[in-house]
Amino acid sequence: MGSRSALFVLATAALLVSACSDSNKGNPTAPAPSSPVGQPTSLPRAGAPNIDKPLDTAAAEADPCGVVKSDQIQSFGGGAVDRSRVDDLSSGKVCTWVFTDGLGTISAGMNIGERDGLSHLYALNAQGRGLTTFKPSEAIDGYPSVVFANGGERSYVCNLAVGVRNDLTYTIVATPGTSNPNRSDPCGMATKLGTLAIQQLKAAQ
């Protein structure tokens, strides 16, 4: 899968979490301003786990490629990183790291387009609509995560949302290429990126 296709997957994954929001919220067309660190009183809901230590994500929202460096990505990505780029989506700024020799991509960013964080995924699952995959995963360095999709599942693609605050997720899409050693375990690849990102965010607090 090419880097543009992977970006589309990430946009779809991130917007999935926002597009099914209550109708009175509307659909944002531009990134919302960064909200202060804190816990909204109405969250979590629908059985989502509470995030005891919310993270300040302002720097990551502004510079998603600065959260994890390319040399860190290639330490687990299955090959050298050819380039990275930032794309400004309606769900927020996203960094895509493109591996050499067709070894695929991995993309990530703060999903500021949906301010219910993991609670929204939990609510969609509880309602039985909007999701065809919903798998709460092991905590990533103390922060809860969910593997999710809304149709079009592929064994070599993983959508992973990590709750960094009750109202915000760090969304990752791993798409290792055919010859990438991570091809059979894209969620393991996504988890490694999530772990590095959480560690960097915690260190910057």
pLDDT digits (tens, 9 = 90+) for 39-65: 667 999 999 999 999 999 999 999 999
Q: What mean pLDDT is reported for the chain?
A: 85
DSSP codes joined into one string, the chain: --HHHHHHHHHHHHHHHHHTS-GGG---SSPPPPPPS---TT-S-TTPPP-SSPPP-HHHHH-GGGTS-HHHHHHHSSS-EEEEEEEEETTEEEEEEEEGGG-EEEEEEE-TT-TTTHHHHHHHHHHT-S-SEEEEEEEETTEEEEEEESS---TT-EEEEEEEETTEEEEEEEEE-TT-TTTT-HHHHHHHHHHHHHHHHHHT-
pLDDT over 50 (residue 130): yes
Count of residues making up the chain: 205
Q: For 62-105, write each residue's pLDDT tens digit.
A: 999 999 999 999 999 999 999 999 999 988 999 999 999 999 99
CA distance 76 to 79: 8
Instruction: Write down the pLDDT at residue 33.
Output: 33
Q: What is the pTM of this model?
A: 0.83
Mean pLDDT of 145-151: 95
Instruction: Name every residue whose Cβ is closer than 8 Å to that of residue 62 and which is 6 or more positions away in sequence.
Output: 34, 93
Q: Cα separation of 86 and 99, whole Å?
A: 15
Confidence (pLDDT) at 21 = 36
What distance in Å separates the CA atoms of residue 8 and residue 204, rounded to the nearest whole number?
30
What percentage of the chain carries pLDDT values higher than 70? 80
Q: What is the pLDDT of residue 68?
A: 96
Domain spans in the chain, listed from the N-terminal domain onward:
57-204
Q: Which residue has the higher pLDDT, 165 or 12?
A: 165
pLDDT band at 38 (very low <50, low <70, confident <90, very high): low
In this predicted structure, what is the pLDDT of residue 141?
Answer: 97
Residue 62 is encoded by which pair of tokens? 């502004």
9-23, 54-68, 169-183: segment of lowest average pLDDT = 9-23
Amino acid at 193: L
Q: Which residue has the higher pLDDT, 38 or 125?
A: 125
| pLDDT band, residue 26 (cuts 50/70/90) | very low
Q: What are phi and psi of 124, to 5 degrees?
A: -60, -40
Position 40 scores a pLDDT of: 64
